[in-house]
Amino acid sequence: MKICIIGTGYVGLVTGACLSDFGLEVTCVDQDEAKILLLNSGGIPIYEQNLEEIIDKNVKAGRLSFTTDIEKAVKESEVIFIAVGTPSNHDGSADLTQIENAAKQIAADLNSYKVIVNKSTVPVGTASRIKKIISENQNLSWRATEGSAEISNEENSHCEEAERPKQSHSAHVIPDSSSVIPVKTGIHPSVIARREATRQSQQELIPFDVVSNPEFLREGSAVRDFTHPDKIVIGSESEKALKIMQEIYRPLYLIDTPFVITNPETAELIKYACNAFLATKITFINEIANLCDKVGADVHQIARAMGLDGRISPKFLHPGPGYGGSCFPKDTRALCSIAERLDYEFKSLKSVVSANNRQRGLMIEKIKRLLVDLKGKQIGILGLAFKQNTDDIRESSPIDIIKLLLKQGAKIKCFDPMAIDNAKKILPDIEYCKNEYDVAEGCNCLVIATEWNQFRNLDLLRIKALLKNPIFIDLRNLYEPEKVKELGFKYEGIGRR
């Protein structure tokens, strides 16, 4: 079965690579020429464990390819995954521009029955929207269908239909001897011919199905999550499409992965519900940790005790500087916005969003309490990625914290094992170091901002000797407070005693 993936980002690339590893023939498409060029020259645009090996293996086996030619990829495929970005609009709602453009491109190049699978995180009703866009824009694709009459570019400017997206082909001319618009009707004969052809093509729409198949992979363990998911959610109204989806995921059936088969609306809402719940859990333990700081209680023991309750589970009970990344912040805002549009105030989730925003500021207060004044102070930051094992810095709390520190006059030295190149694009003027010890040298304090494993076993005596003041702020609770304090540091974690 031939598969096309539109959007070769974190989700699209991992999906494409893993599906090709399942033995399917996959073409990953992206409009970003530099990204495709890099992939075609053996490079990889993101850092994700084990991804490079899988890509390399499947490219060599001829099952995985990369292109900017969406037309060819769509036409040759039976199943088209959409894995484009759905960033936040200013009002917090999901910006569906990339989804809509992808749908228009698919419509323009639809040449036979296809299953369109949406993997992006989208508001309820987007599958229907994709269906509508493809139906409405298909009547432009009749030009590319064998045997159909085709219109000229000039006539195309009279089109009432939605604009054909950029990656279209040049249209041919309807055989028409007259170039004069008849006075009687005022309509150019070629336009009448085009409308007639459009009417015909509308009666002969190429069939297709739209399926919602939200993705739950986590950056940092994306390959493992894709190949060993805790569930696969498929929202489909078509039995035929469902069967094709089940065939694609057959290797996962063999390892007893639970499948949730539902309608597209439910599938779309499942994704937001999961992310909103996880964001709520993180925020809850962050707030408990903030309370611990005030009363001298220990959040680790509280989290452990909570986690022993089978109804709660120990996962996502690790306090920190607030959730970040490309999903939780935008998805929680989007779900609040979806509710608002339905005239429902999602009170608990709105509080989560606001508490998470406040958490960054509370971290600055913590640093300030130990340094008194931030102006002119040299602060060392370990970690830039929003979490370990990724180079992603989208809505990263370490990056937000650095920006707040800079605003208060602090100077920053920093290091991250993977995210420095990305950080340089948005923070070009801070000092980037080659390792943890370079960061510590001459700083007034050292802050752990991302939970990379390699930060868990620092040579603390060496760090202490390099720092100007022995102040150690651990925003990920990687160290035991007593042990660090015994070495002569002033230590602050989050909710630790």
Q: Which residues are catalytic?
A: 327
| Alpha-carbon span 64 to 56, nearest angstrom | 9
DSSP 154-194: HHHTT--SPPPPTTPPPP-----S--SPPTTT-S-HHHHHH
Minimal distance in Å, beta carbon 395 to ligand NAD? 11
Residues 369-428 that bind ligand NAD (CB under 6 A): none
Strand pairing partners for 115?
A: 79, 209
User: Distances in Å between the alpha carbon of 27 and those of 61, 76, 106, 166, 279?
Assistant: 13, 9, 14, 20, 34
Minimal distance in Å, beta carbon 344 to ligand NAD? 22
x-marked contacts with ligand NAD along 85-104 as a string, rule CB under 6 A? xx-----------x--xx--
Query: Per rule CB under 6 A, is residue 141 in the interface with ligand NAD?
Result: no
**Residue 425 CA from chain centroid, whole number:** 19
Sign of CA dihedral 190, 192, 197, 201: positive
Minimal distance in Å, beta carbon 394 to ligand NAD? 8
Query: Per rule CB under 6 A, is residue 31 in the interface with ligand NAD?
Result: yes
Q: Which residues contact 235 (CB under 8 A, 6 or more apart)?
A: 127, 211, 212, 213, 262, 263, 264, 265, 266, 267, 268
Q: Which stretch binds ligand NAD (CB under 6 A): 151-159, 192-200, 214-222, 402-410?
A: 214-222
Q: Which stretch binds ligand NAD (CB under 6 A): 213-221, 375-383, 426-434, 462-470?
A: 213-221
3-state secondary structure (DSSP) of residue 43: coil
Q: Which stretch binds ligand NAD (CB under 6 A): 3-11, 361-369, 467-475, 476-484?
A: 3-11
Query: Per rule CB under 6 A, is residue 443 in the interface with ligand NAD?
Result: no
| Alpha-carbon span 319 to 304, nearest angstrom | 12
Among 326, 337, 389, 444, binds ligand NAD (CB under 6 A): 326
Among 3, 4, 8, 306, binds ligand NAD (CB under 6 A): 8
Minimal distance in Å, beta carbon 278 to ligand NAD? 12
Among 25, 30, 391, 492, binds ligand NAD (CB under 6 A): 30
Minimal distance in Å, beta carbon 245 to ligand NAD? 17
Residues 65-84 that bind ligand NAD (CB under 6 A): 70, 83-84
Query: Per rule CB under 6 A, is residue 9 in the interface with ligand NAD?
Result: yes
Structure tokens at 13: 């690339």
Q: Kindly tell me which of 29 and 223 has the beta carbon lying closer to ligand NAD.
A: 29
Among 327, 363, 410, 484, binds ligand NAD (CB under 6 A): 327
Minimal distance in Å, beta carbon 11 to ligand NAD? 4
Sign of CA dihedral 340, 342, 347, 352: negative
| Alpha-carbon span 390 to 37, nearest angstrom | 22
User: Distances in Å between the alpha carbon of 46 and those of 120, 248, 342, 425, 455?
Assistant: 18, 25, 37, 15, 22
Structure tokens at 279: 């964001």
User: Residue 203: which H helix or E strand, with range?
Assistant: helix 189-203
Q: Comparing C-alpha atoms, which of 208, 209, 215 is closest to residue 18?
A: 215
Region for 376 from its dihedrals, namely left if φ exceeds 0, alpha if ψ lies in -120 to 50, beta otherwise: left
The residue with its CB nearest to ligand NAD is 9
Minimal distance in Å, beta carbon 65 to ligand NAD? 15
Residues 34-63 that bind ligand NAD (CB under 6 A): 35
Q: Kindly tell me which of 5 and 463 has the beta carbon lying closer to ligand NAD.
A: 5
User: Distances in Å between the alpha carbon of 203 and those of 113, 123, 138, 245?
Assistant: 15, 30, 11, 28
Query: Per rule CB under 6 A, is residue 7 in the interface with ligand NAD?
Result: yes
3-state secondary structure (DSSP) of residue 48: coil
Minimal distance in Å, beta carbon 97 to ligand NAD? 8
Query: Per rule CB under 6 A, is residue 109 in the interface with ligand NAD?
Result: no
Minimal distance in Å, beta carbon 270 to ligand NAD? 12
User: Distances in Å between the alpha carbon of 150 and those of 72, 180, 196, 429?
Assistant: 19, 19, 11, 55
CB 419 within 8 A of CB 390: yes
Among 155, 215, 293, 391, binds ligand NAD (CB under 6 A): 215
| Alpha-carbon span 126 to 272, nearest angstrom | 13
Among 120, 198, 286, 359, binds ligand NAD (CB under 6 A): 120
Query: Per rule CB under 6 A, is residue 6 in the interface with ligand NAD?
Result: yes
- Using CB under 6 A, count the residues that bind ligand NAD: 28
Q: Which stretch binds ligand NAD (CB under 6 A): 23-31, 184-192, 308-316, 357-365?
A: 23-31
Q: Kindly tell me which of 214 and 380 has the beta carbon lying closer to ligand NAD.
A: 214
Q: Which residues contact 344 (CB under 8 A, 6 or more apart)?
A: none
Q: Kindly tell me which of 330 and 464 has the beta carbon lying closer to ligand NAD.
A: 330
Q: Which stretch binds ligand NAD (CB under 6 A): 25-33, 52-60, 277-285, 432-440?
A: 25-33
Minimal distance in Å, beta carbon 235 to ligand NAD? 15
Let me know the angle formed at the C-alpha of 341 by 336 and 346, rounded to the nearest 5 degrees. 35
Q: Comparing C-alpha atoms, which of 2, 36, 35 is closest to residue 20?
A: 2
Site residues for ligand NAD per CB under 6 A: 6-12, 29-32, 35, 70, 83-86, 98, 101-102, 105, 120-121, 215, 217, 219, 326-327
